[in-house]
Structure 1
């Protein structure tokens, strides 16, 4: 079979609750029906990016399909960016949090998502670079990153795990941190409980955090949450009231540098990184092709 008809399926075996064997079988059947050759790469949790880059460089895949959550999508996007190939990326939402799929209004039904990924055409999407690492969705420093760190260290997964870690995180993360942001030729400074960097509008549960967000406008938004006011956070995130500028400030830009007085937790697309007091952010305009 002509290598131009090859598709690479990347599967994260431990993401979400969906049985990946069923997904693989369904993709194989759909690919066979449209006369496409399928190669499968199952993530190992170690050296996946390097392994994926080697696969993409060695073969001429006409499409990359990703079955997993935001972290697996980020893995695929990072590999494609690294090799500078314009390979369309299709998404099968199969993670515990499918924020990017929600943002792209993709079908959450697995069968529909598979057919959509195999048959539809891609559109260009911006990628945010955070300290040299790709971000396709929403990243932040502060209390949410601290929550993700605590969640990663716990043994309880899913929404219950997040809920159980919320209380100790809120108790321990009492004080705002001091920040200084250089963006658009200006310096912004103050105290915040969280500073988010958003190319998208929504978290995985559909909650709108960034109403100004567009995936291909060459800009990203910096959202500064100034204090820990739980009712205000809930009202803002769930879009029940207009954004209160005394509580949250939004900076729209294409690059920024953020410094904090003390190291604070950083998460990128739902994956905890480390504590840092320096964040450099830029936008890569229409960098990858995603089917949505």
Structure 2
């Protein structure tokens, strides 16, 4: 079955302001390395520093709420760091995550909240949601960082961020679409919370007609993505046409630059 997620959407279409650094060929490298187009999970890649910080920060928040007494302990952050084996990480990652843990212990914004979902961040891919849009059907994958019940009839989706990257409204839209299926009797809002800068986005809501539009967009992307992978399976020589390159300075951060014939030109620009 066709499938979609925010991650796939972001690989198809860049976030606003990120157009120059977007490359369809990276999506091609990611997905055509699979032995079969029927396999949904991506093959693991080496983690960047910012990915490592984000994952460990989320795990730290989870550990605090598995044992809330740590929030009151004078060395609670150090105890959580031990559970994360933080002292085995490189100095940059260790310092940034330690600061996040200390900041959260000083101001634990989830303490006392009615937490419905709080993921550690390294769980298996959650079961997909079947979505029908006209004659198209696809499976939507959405992994939530945190969902709290903010009132009797409303839930609040919180997505944790680190670093200085801007928030992408589309991610919240996908979460809100997923919750319209998972929690059909509840109103939902979403927000982003940067654990490193301690900043929050405004609350994001989405009307029903926009949810329908998002579902249609995801259905289109899911269908096209599947078609491209199947066409590549039949004719691997069409790779460059299906997944056109966009070389530039961003090539130096691409995990596939060692395999890409266009990366050398991008690295010199």
Q: Which TM-score applies when normalising by structure 2?
A: 0.28
- Bigger strand share: 1
